[in-house]
Amino acid sequence: MKEEFDILIVDDEQVVIDSVKRICGINNYRVDFALDAEKALDKISMQRYRIIICDIMMPGMDGFQFLDEIHNRNIDTPVIITSGYSTIENAVKSLYSGALDFIPKPFTFDEIISVIKRCLKYRDLTNPSSNKSNTIMHVPCPAKYFRLGYSCWVNPFHDGSVYIGATDIFIKTLENIKSLEYLENDTTINQAEPLIKIISEDGTVNQLYSAISGRIIESNHKLLTDITLLEKDPYFAGWFYRIIPNQLEYEMSMLTPCSSDR
Amino acid sequence: MKGFTEIGILKRIGLKLIIAVSFTAVIIIGVYSYFNIKSQNDVLLGEVERHANQLSETVKNSMRYSMLLNQREHIQETISTIGIDPTIRDVRILNKEGEIIYSTKQTEIGNMLDKKAESCYACHAENKPLEKLPIKDRTRIFKLHPDSTRIMGIVNPIYNEKSCSTSECHAHPEEATVLGVLDVSISLNSIDNQLTRNQIRVFWFAVISVIALGFIIGFFVKRWVDTPAKELIKATNEVALGNLNYVIKDIGNDELGYLAKSFNNMIKKLDETRLQLVQSDKMASLGRLAAGVAHEINNPLTGVLTYSSFLLKRAKDNPQMQEDLNVIVRETMRSREIVKGLLDFARQSTPKKSLVEINEIIKRAITVVNNQLKYGKINLVTELNNQLPKVTADANQIQQVFLNLLLNAIDAIGTEGGSLNIKTNLTNLSPKGNTQIKSAVCTKNHNLIYKEFKIGGVPSIHLKIKSNGNEGFINLDPTYGNNRHFFGINLAKNSTISLNCPTCDISLIDKNEKCPECGGPVYKITIPNQGYLMGCASFNDRWQQWEFIDRGGDRQFVEIIIKDSGCGIPQENISKLFEPFFSTKGQKGTGLGLAIVWGIIDNHNGSIDVNSELGKGTAFSIKLPLA
């Protein structure tokens, strides 16, 4: 009989494994670890894991190759990529290559916990075979939209600006949204940089990474007064910002068209 | 190196000039004086001769009557009276036989003169005596003995007349033609004295002229040549010692002044190039280092940050401990930001380039800092060239460059207010010295680019070289036209060399080509898809030709100048300006801003220069290549 773990940590640094284990221990997650990607693949074939946290730079197979291998083997376990070499390129590439989330090292207790919680929730939401009973259907994003990873959508508007927001599945992975912390208008952001802080009832701070680079020209502050809009209509009334993109064409190549979701 | 003062006195320009000019002056004065004195002499002698002839004729005429009457005492009386004049040495009359009949010197009377005597010589030089003597030949100049003064003698023959033979005394036979000779001698003492005085005067004139010329030339040579040359030599010595900030002060508008200005310009360019090269190398290695360090540090930091933030959560009911842990978390977060900055700086990824409007990016950067400009009372003046073509660049990175420069300018201006100028325009630069050779192969398609040996921070072209039995390697400068080649073997001047592919040993010398400058052999290297690079294979010749690139003509660059009226940058800091972690802002900055700027511009194959004057402001000039 296969033993089920919640999390598999793949990292060549013992201190990172220990840290994550320690934190996960608080929430009673069952944690396993592997010191390189090959061992991790062996373990995956033997055991079942709900999510995987994987480093990029490792001896032998690196994080991206690991993601490809997971995809090739049709393993649907969500992967969180983490890296000490935390450049924007690595973040975008991870999300584009199929990682559910990217978390740069070093991270705080709160940061890693919020990512883990979200991913476990995602796993439960998308995996019908999960023994949890609260499986919820989610609304896929409209066909003309594009998304970075599974979390952030953009909708190119005819005047050259784009609307940006969070996908329904991302919203559903968050528990009881309490408030939002916007960036100021006129701020210039880069692709895969934190776009908005979504704070849950329990104080967990969730970061949404921007799908594109550009300058924020308008923020949807209506959400502050009626936070339920976000859950009711995440793709239309629930937009966060209007942005003037500065290199949309290039960045589009790293986005997934939502039409491919159907 | 030999100092200026060590130049031998005889080798100095000043002395050489003085000697040359003095020599010329002496020759001119000498020739002029020679002809001048000679003509003076001739004029004076002519005058004396005319005077003597007149005198001789007058004496003869005045005595004619006395002679006809044969009044001998009277004749002697007249001659004695004439002889009183001090310039007249003597007056005498000789008869046909040479006997002195009358003379101013009474003692001579009755003496016989030989035909060779000065008075007789004019007529009796030939054996047969002349009967007629033309006036020109009557005078002669002679000295009685070598030390005596010159004397001019005039012989005036006294001819027979009818009345001489028919007169009562019948003193002379009818058939004689010449009865005697009147001989007058005049001393030339006074003329000679005058000529000597003139000669002495000319001599002193020459001496004084030469001395004066010497001093005048010496003075001006010192002023126009010596002082500037000293300054130039001092400058070259300073540069040789590595001081590339040395500036020659203004030394005038003549050729040396221009030399000094062009020297200053050369050193400035040299300094800039050196800075870029050093920077290029440093950045590349630093980038790798930074990436490695970031990765290595972030792992242990993960341990610190997770455990400390976890402890912070658990210490909710222990405010004292919470406070301490907060410090750890806060400082670890700060370390995280520093490493992130380091990573941003080290980003080695190729920029995401697309065609962008530089002016648009500048405007965007300005909107970001608009508020700060307002608060800082900074007057922004933009002169954006509307005709600018689009540039292939990473808009984000370029905007980051402008933002960093604008923020630096705002900081430099401070709270007192000031002005900020942003200017864009299009410039042309020659491809030579500005084009990198990024790939090169031999005729058999073997790679010649050698990453292990870099010139100016760029992999060089590695060739095998053979010369006079010596064999080794040569590394050609990968910047077209720069010629900072590295020779692996010693080459004798004018020696013949052959260049070969280090892989297959095929010769790279093209026998059909000759160097247009020295006629020597030419090497030809294939640049894939971009034609051929040809160059002179002679050691001293710098000729290079890359037709493919030359055909394109000068390359166009978009130039962006950001100029502030801020505090300026001290000269000694300029070289360190683009180094990572060099900051004058203290706690405020990370010291990575300008290093990032440099890295981005280098990634775009562009260049960045700084011009700064303390207290007056700083100007950054960025050049980005079109296409």
Tens-place pLDDT, residues B232-288: 888 899 888 888 888 888 777 888 888 888 888 888 888 877 777 776 677 667 777
**Which B positions 564-623 lie with beta carbon below 8 A of chain A?**
none
Q: Are B517 and B540 in contact (CB under 8 A)?
A: no
Cβ–Cβ gap A84/B303 under 8 Å? no
Cβ–Cβ gap A89/B303 under 8 Å? no
Q: Are A247 and A213 in contact (CB under 8 A)?
A: yes
Residues in B closer than 8 angstroms to A210, CB to CB, are none
DSSP 8-state assignment for residue B386: T
* Domain residue extents for chain B: 32-194, 255-346, 354-430+554-625, 449-551
Domain at A4-126, CATH from 3.40.50.720, 3.40.50.2300, 3.20.20.70, 3.50.50.60: 3.40.50.2300
Strand partners, A34: A10
Residue of A nearest to B369 (CA): A186
Q: A–B: how many Cβ contacts below 8 A?
A: 100
User: How many Å apart are CA A46 and CA B40, to the nearest integer?
Assistant: 133
Mutate to test the interface with A, among B288, B295, B350 (most CBs of A within 10 A): B295
Check CB contact of B133 with chain A, cutoff 8 Å.
no
Check residue A241 and give its pLDDT.
93
Residues in B closer than 8 angstroms to A23, CB to CB, are 306, 310
Check CB contact of A102 with chain B, cutoff 8 Å.
no
Check CB contact of A192 with chain B, cutoff 8 Å.
no
- Average pLDDT by stretches of 10, chain A with 262 residues: 79 91 88 92 90 91 91 90 85 89 91 91 77 62 88 86 91 87 85 89 88 88 88 90 82 85 68
Q: Are B583 and B591 in contact (CB under 8 A)?
A: yes
Q: What percent of chain B has pLDDT over 90?
A: 8
Cβ–Cβ gap B302/A23 under 8 Å? no
Cβ–Cβ gap A107/B395 under 8 Å? no
Residues in B closer than 8 angstroms to A26, CB to CB, are 310
ipTM: 0.84
* Chain mean pLDDT for chain B: 81
* Domain residue extents for chain A: 4-126, 146-261
Check CB contact of B343 with chain A, cutoff 8 Å.
yes
Cβ–Cβ gap A106/B332 under 8 Å? yes
Check residue B404 and give its pLDDT.
86
Residues in B closer than 8 angstroms to A188, CB to CB, are 364, 368, 399
Residues in B closer than 8 angstroms to A15, CB to CB, are 299-300, 302-303
Q: Which of B270, B271, B248 is nearest to B260 (CA)?
A: B248
Check CB contact of A202 with chain B, cutoff 8 Å.
no
Check CB contact of A60 with chain B, cutoff 8 Å.
no
pLDDT in tens, B49-62: 888 888 888 888 88
Cβ–Cβ gap A84/B312 under 8 Å? no
Cβ–Cβ gap A15/B299 under 8 Å? yes
Residues in B closer than 8 angstroms to A57, CB to CB, are 295
The CATH class that applies to domain B255-346 reads: mainly alpha
Residues in A closer than 8 angstroms to B298, CB to CB, are 83-86, 104-106
Check CB contact of B372 with chain A, cutoff 8 Å.
no
Cβ–Cβ gap A87/B394 under 8 Å? no
- Tell me which H or E stretch contains B321: helix B319-346
Check residue B171 and give its pLDDT.
63
Residue of A nearest to B336 (CA): A106
Between the CA of residue B406 and those of A172, B396, B402, B420, B597, what are the distances in Å? 43, 15, 6, 9, 12
Which tokens belong to B449? 């680019």
What is the band of B214 on the pLDDT scale with cuts at 50, 70, 90? confident
User: How many Å apart are CA B300 and CA A169, to the nearest integer?
Assistant: 34
The CATH class that applies to domain B354-430+554-625 reads: alpha beta
Minimum distance, in Å, between the CA of residue A232 and any CA atom of chain B = 33
Check CB contact of B291 with chain A, cutoff 8 Å.
yes
- Tell me which H or E stretch contains B367: helix B358-375
Check CB contact of B294 with chain A, cutoff 8 Å.
yes
pLDDT in tens, B390-439: 888 888 788 888 988 998 888 888 888 899 999 999 988 877 776 768 78
Check residue A1 and give its pLDDT.
42
Q: Are B151 and B186 in contact (CB under 8 A)?
A: yes
Cβ–Cβ gap A250/B352 under 8 Å? yes
- Closest CB to B299 among A26, A105, A109: A105
Q: Are B460 and B476 in contact (CB under 8 A)?
A: yes
Alpha helices in A27-159 (DSSP H): 37-46, 63-72, 88-96, 109-126
Check residue B1 and give its pLDDT.
46
Residues in A closer than 8 angstroms to B302, CB to CB, are 13, 15-16, 19, 84, 105-107
Mutate to test the interface with B, among A35, A85, A108 (most CBs of B within 10 A): A108
Residues in A closer than 8 angstroms to B367, CB to CB, are 186, 215
Residue of B nearest to A110 (CA): B309
Residues in B closer than 8 angstroms to A93, CB to CB, are none
Minimum distance, in Å, between the CA of residue A218 and any CA atom of chain B = 15
pLDDT in tens, B506-520: 888 888 888 888 888
Check CB contact of B350 with chain A, cutoff 8 Å.
no
CATH superfamily of B32-194: PAS domain (3.30.450.20)
Cβ–Cβ gap A106/B396 under 8 Å? no
In degrees and rounded to multiples of 5, residue B63 shows phi and psi of -100, -5
Between the CA of residue B64 and those of B154, B161, B177, what are the distances in Å? 18, 11, 16
Is B557 strand, coil or helix? strand
Mutate to test the interface with B, among A105, A116, A217, A254 (most CBs of B within 10 A): A105
Domain at A146-261, CATH from 2.40.50.100, 3.30.450.40, 2.30.40.10, 1.10.8.60: 2.40.50.100
Cβ–Cβ gap A246/B399 under 8 Å? yes
Check CB contact of A109 with chain B, cutoff 8 Å.
yes
Laid out side by side, the sheet with B139-142 consists of B100-103, B88-95, B178-187, B151-159, B139-142
Check residue A52 and give its pLDDT.
94
pLDDT over 70 (residue B67): yes
Check CB contact of B332 with chain A, cutoff 8 Å.
yes
Check CB contact of A159 with chain B, cutoff 8 Å.
no
Mutate to test the interface with B, among A17, A109, A185, A212 (most CBs of B within 10 A): A109
Neighbours of B209 (CB within 10 A): 15
User: How many Å apart are CA A122 and CA B242, to the nearest integer?
Assistant: 64
Cβ–Cβ gap B305/A26 under 8 Å? no
Taking the CA of residue A73 as centre, how many other CA atoms within 13 Å lie in the half-sphere pointing to its CB? 12
Minimum distance, in Å, between the CA of residue B289 and any CA atom of chain A = 12
Taking the CA of residue B205 as centre, how many other CA atoms within 13 Å lie in the half-sphere pointing to its CB? 13
